[in-house]
Amino acid sequence: MTTDPGLAPALRRAAQAPILVIACDYDGTLAPFVDDPTRAIPAPGAIEALVRLAGLPRTTVALLSGRNRAALARVSGAGAPVVLVGSHGSEWEGGFATPLDDDEVALLARVGSRLGEIASRTPGAHVESKPTAAVLHVRPVEDPALRERAMAEAMAGPAALDGVFVTEGKNVVEIAVREASKGAAIETLVERAGADLAVFIGDDVTDERGFARLRDGDIGIKVGDGPTLARHRVADIDAVVGLLGELAELRS
Ligand SMILES: [Mg+2]
């Protein structure tokens, strides 16, 4: 893979941003894949570079992972001042997440009660309440016809309401009133910091939702091969560590 000629000017631009957010995926971006995911330790220098950047004025650094937040903290060894965001952007350190607004609270209550009605006429079904979502579980329902009816009712009813985000699985449907995606997480980081510019670095298909939501002037960097919406690309994890060190140097 050839060096991306646009990357050096992009890094210089990032270094000069009055308020900067740098968000990094973890696995495959800062840590090599290994058979045992609990042993996916960061590449040498990776966390040091993030901590150095996070210690600079007007600079927010976040790890943005599909892992749950506790596992991300454990495996990466990272912590404050680096912000850890887990579960594809839905899991934040206590107090950092934006609380639901009145409309979202009302919508969530409506979704929960509609799912509750469906569950009440479907023996074995239950509704799980999450902070930003309600989840209908029909796996324990013995009669397959009832199971299918409940799922169909959920999809045609509360899952079709305006403003919800639906994740349908086998015998489960989760209906959220707040989108959980790396894109939404980056937007939250940018809003919180009042950032002029965001850098997002990732290697996987789930990171594309992050690249897709970057603004003009933000800097998306794809790690490795494969189609991407990111404007920039680096070959591997070592190159990520190198560019983070270079950015820290330029911004110091
Ligand atoms: Mg990854």
Residue 205 clears pLDDT 90, i.e. is over it: no
Burial status of residue 155 (CB atoms within 10 A of its CB: 0-12, 13-18, 19 or more): middle
Q: Are 175 and 133 in contact (CB under 8 A)?
A: yes
| Residue extents of the structural domains in the chain | 7-98+180-251, 102-176
- Closest by alpha carbon to 132, among 155, 156, 105, 159? 105
Residue percentage of the chain with pLDDT more than 90: 73
- Give 67 or 40, the one with higher predicted confidence: 40
Residue percentage of the chain with pLDDT more than 70: 97
Residue 52 clears pLDDT 90, i.e. is over it: yes
Residue 152 clears pLDDT 90, i.e. is over it: yes
Task: Report pLDDT for 243.
Answer: 96
Rounded-to-integer distance, Cα 15 and Cα 250, Å = 6
Q: How confident is the model at residue 96 (pLDDT cuts 50, 70, 90)?
A: very low
Q: What is the pLDDT of residues 160-170, one digit of tens each?
A: 999 999 877 77
CB atoms within 10 A of CB 24: 27
Domain 102-176 has CATH 3.40.50.300: no
- Closest by alpha carbon to 93, among 118, 124, 72, 116? 72
Task: Report pLDDT for 97.
Answer: 59
Q: Are 21 and 194 in contact (CB under 8 A)?
A: no
Q: What is the pLDDT of residues 108-136, one digit of tens each?
A: 999 999 999 999 999 999 998 877 889 99
The fold for domain 7-98+180-251 equals Rossmann fold (3.40.50)
Who's near 39: CB < 8 A, 6+ residues apart? 75
Task: Report pLDDT for 92.
Answer: 85
Residue 95 clears pLDDT 60, i.e. is over it: no
Q: Which protein residues have their CB within 5 A of the ion that is ligand 1?
A: 25, 27-28, 203-204
Question: Average pLDDT in the 201-216 region?
Answer: 91
Distance 103 CA to ligand 1 centre (A): 34
Distance 113 CA to ligand 1 centre (A): 37
Distance 115 CA to ligand 1 centre (A): 34
Q: Are 39 and 233 in contact (CB under 8 A)?
A: no
Give the strand pairing for 172-176 and 133-137: antiparallel
